[in-house]
């Protein structure tokens, strides 16, 4: 029998109201989730072998890595946007709107953007945010261009025969120059290594001791001499980035043994660091007699031969640490070769640099289990599962969610999430002019961010000024 029309509408309306109310409950619960994520991130709860809070979320909760990064980003942003966070916690605006607004909102603009979220749909908010970002990018581009145009270097002789150097660099170029000057100055004027030598240096200061500006001047000359001496050629890439470590064989096998473990420049590194570097590197065996005289130097060989390395990468396809999977990884000897471990496929595993360091220097352990797989353990001995156990879910999650929200004084209904929009057309250009504090600085004659000026690419607007959709 056909259901009467009014009854059918009543049932559908009731179903729609239930969907709307449940959605509002979910948004309020999402606010609590983001609060927990922000606290967990700030307190470093993820720092138990994982690279970041997003990596931990991806492993523990099963989120896509991109979605996990967004959750962390939004959670951090809401920590500085209390009005937006409160509206989400009351179920008044959706996570989709919050996610978009947190890309541009500041403490000064939060209130007006929240009004946009309450008044418009998620699509309206997305259009406003794209227009907002467009104005921001235009302003940033103009400022970056201004700084770039102002760059310059003047070098001219003074009347007394000295040379005057005066200039202005971009921020990144200036940072590079300062790093180079500091490195050259430290080489020319090394700091005392102890309090006693520092005291002696202070007591012996004379009028001939170079001042800090004089030291920087000498450092600049040293940079010029070095550049000319090397013909402005930094060398072959393989040698340019090479790190040389000198370590005694007993120390490499057992970090508790006495002996050296130092970098080429003499800086000491821990035995565990040397063991990590030696896992997958070139090695040269040098033999000395009891008096330290050189007896023999062996040929340089790879710890892991190329053919074995190809097989290792084919098998592991990236870092084996649970929840990681970074494709750029280093070979790790489960039982180190210096302690007799064989360089065989069964004794090797790929680890990214972060987790290779965790295994060697932070107390994490890795072992082959009886099934031939790998078991990773935290420093306290607890095993890290590849896939964590799923949490318990109540038999009626909807009522549990309602009870939790009610306990937090969150009262929602089927109209809580409904925006104030009544179907009028959105004029994005006008909205940005009204809302954005920099909108009046836009170039005259550029295409306004409206439907008549279709967007092309959100991150890279076209030269005509079009916005991304």
State residue 78's pLDDT score: 95
Read off the pLDDT band of 249 (50, 70, 90): confident
Average pLDDT over residues 252-260: 71
Q: Which domain holds residue 370?
A: 245-384
Q: Is the dihedral of CA 242, 244, 250, 255 positive or negative?
A: negative
Read off the pLDDT band of 247 (50, 70, 90): confident
Compute the mean pLDDT over every residue in the chain, rounded to the nearest whole number: 78
Q: Are 21 and 74 found together in one domain?
A: yes
Say if residue 144's pLDDT is above 80.
no
Q: Are 95 and 51 found together in one domain?
A: yes
Q: Are 132 and 23 found together in one domain?
A: yes
257 and 307 in contact (C-beta within 8 Å)?
Answer: no
Nearest to 247 by CA among 204, 276, 221: 276
What does pTM read for this prediction?
A: 0.60
Could you give the angle at the alpha carbon of 190 between the alpha carbons of 188 and 193, nearest 5°? Answer: 170
Q: Are 268 and 378 found together in one domain?
A: yes
Burial-class residue 428 by CB neighbours within 10 Å (0-12, 13-18, 19+).
buried
Does residue 77 lie within any of the structural domains?
yes
388 and 48 in contact (C-beta within 8 Å)?
Answer: no
Does residue 70 lie within any of the structural domains?
yes
Average pLDDT over residues 253-275: 71
350 and 359 in contact (C-beta within 8 Å)?
Answer: no
> Could you tell me what percent of the chain has a pLDDT over 90?
17
Query: pLDDT digit string (tens) for 324-363?
Result: 878 888 889 888 887 888 888 988 999 988 888 888 888 8
Say if residue 262's pLDDT is above 90.
no
Show the beta-strand stretches assigned E in 234-387.
245-247, 261-263, 282-283, 286-288, 294-297, 301-302, 330-333, 348-351, 365-368, 374-377, 383-384
* Distance (Å, whole) CA 402 – CA 17: 15
Query: Which are the contacts of 26, defined by CB distance < 8 A and separation ≥ 6?
Result: 401
Q: Are 9 and 136 found together in one domain?
A: yes
Does residue 401 lie within any of the structural domains?
no
Does residue 44 lie within any of the structural domains?
yes
Instruction: Select the more confidently predicted residue: 97 or 17.
Output: 97
Q: Are 437 and 336 found together in one domain?
A: no
State residue 453's pLDDT score: 45
Nearest to 367 by CA among 375, 359, 378, 355: 375
Say if residue 288's pLDDT is above 80.
no
End-to-end CA separation in angstroms for the chain: 48
Does residue 178 lie within any of the structural domains?
no
* Distance (Å, whole) CA 135 – CA 233: 42
State residue 2's pLDDT score: 54
Read off the pLDDT band of 460 (50, 70, 90): very low
Average pLDDT over residues 26-36: 92
Does residue 123 lie within any of the structural domains?
yes
Length of the chain: 469
Does residue 250 lie within any of the structural domains?
yes
Number of domains in the chain: 2
Q: Are 338 and 432 found together in one domain?
A: no
State residue 4's pLDDT score: 52
Q: Are 121 and 14 found together in one domain?
A: yes
Say if residue 266's pLDDT is above 80.
no
Q: b/e map of 267-303 (b: 16 or more CB within 10 Å)?
A: eebebbbbbbbbbbbebeeeeeeeeeeeeeeeeeeeb
Query: pLDDT digit string (tens) for 207-220?
Result: 467 888 888 988 88
Instruction: Select the more confidently predicted residue: 136 or 440.
Output: 136
Highest-pLDDT range among 139-143, 307-311, 389-393, 420-424: 307-311
Instruction: Select the more confidently predicted residue: 133 or 286.
Output: 133
Q: Are 47 and 131 found together in one domain?
A: yes
Q: Are 26 and 126 found together in one domain?
A: yes
User: In 10 A of CB 365, how many CB atoms?
Assistant: 15
Average pLDDT over residues 316-329: 87
Q: b/e map of 160-193 (b: 16 or more CB within 10 Å)?
A: eeeeeeeeebeeeeeeeeeeebeebbeeeeeeee
Q: Are 424 and 362 found together in one domain?
A: no
**Residue 177, helix vs strand vs coil:** helix
**Residue 240, helix vs strand vs coil:** helix
State residue 368's pLDDT score: 87
Burial-class residue 447 by CB neighbours within 10 Å (0-12, 13-18, 19+).
middle
State residue 326's pLDDT score: 83
Residue entry with tokens 């607007």 = 461
**Element of type H or E holding 164:** strand 163-168
Average pLDDT over residues 142-151: 78
Q: Are 249 and 358 found together in one domain?
A: yes
- The tokens for 289 are 């007699």
Does residue 468 lie within any of the structural domains?
no
């Amino acid at each position: 029998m056909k259901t009467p029309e009014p009854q059918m509408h009543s049932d559908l309306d009731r179903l729609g109201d239930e969907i709307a109310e449940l959605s509002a409950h979910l948004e309020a619960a999402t606010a609590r989730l983001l609060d927990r994520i922000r606290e967990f991130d700030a307190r470093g709860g993820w720092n138990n072998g994982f690279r970041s809070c997003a990596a931990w979320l991806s492993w523990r909760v099963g989120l896509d890595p991109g979605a996990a990064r967004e959750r962390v980003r939004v959670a951090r942003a809401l920590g500085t946007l209390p009005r937006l966070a409160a509206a989400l916690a009351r179920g008044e605006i959706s996570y989709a709107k919050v996610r978009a607004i947190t890309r541009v909102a500041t403490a000064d603009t939060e209130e007006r953007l929240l009004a946009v979220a309450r008044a418009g749909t998620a699509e309206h908010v997305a259009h406003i945010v794209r227009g907002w970002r467009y104005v921001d990018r235009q302003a940033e581009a103009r400022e970056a261009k201004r700084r770039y145009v102002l760059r310059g270097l003047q070098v001219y002789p003074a009347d007394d025969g000295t040379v005057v150097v005066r200039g202005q660099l971009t921020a990144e170029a200036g940072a590079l120059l300062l790093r180079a000057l500091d490195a050259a100055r430290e080489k020319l004027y090394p700091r005392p290594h102890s309090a006693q030598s520092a005291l002696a240096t202070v007591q012996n200061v004379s009028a001939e001791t170079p001042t800090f500006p004089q030291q920087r001047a000498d450092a600049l000359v040293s940079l010029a001499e070095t550049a000319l001496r090397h013909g402005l050629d930094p060398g072959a890439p393989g040698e340019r980035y090479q790190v040389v470590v000198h370590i005694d064989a007993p120390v490499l096998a057992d970090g508790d043994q006495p002996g050296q473990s130092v970098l080429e420049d003499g800086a000491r590194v821990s035995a565990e660091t040397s063991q990590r570097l030696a896992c997958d590197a070139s090695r040269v065996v040098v033999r000395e007699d009891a008096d330290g005289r050189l007896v023999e130097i062996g040929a340089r060989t790879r710890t892991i031969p190329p053919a074995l390395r190809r097989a290792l990468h084919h098998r592991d396809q990236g870092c084996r640490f649970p929840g990681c999977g970074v494709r750029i990884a280093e070979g790790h000897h489960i039982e180190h070769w210096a302690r007799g471990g064989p360089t065989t496929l069964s004794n090797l595993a790929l680890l990214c640099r972060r987790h290779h360091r965790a295994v060697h220097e932070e107390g994490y352990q890795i072992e082959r289990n009886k099934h031939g797989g790998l078991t990773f353990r935290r420093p306290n001995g607890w095993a890290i599962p590849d896939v964590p156990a799923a949490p318990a879910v109540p038999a009626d999650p909807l009522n549990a969610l309602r009870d939790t929200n009610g306990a937090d004084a969150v009262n929602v209904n089927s109209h809580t999430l409904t925006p104030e929009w009544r179907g009028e057309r959105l004029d994005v250009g006008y909205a940005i002019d009204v809302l954005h504090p920099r909108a009046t600085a836009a170039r005259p004659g550029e295409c306004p961010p409206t439907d008549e000026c279709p967007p092309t690419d959100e991150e890279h607007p076209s030269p005509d000024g079009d916005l991304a959709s």
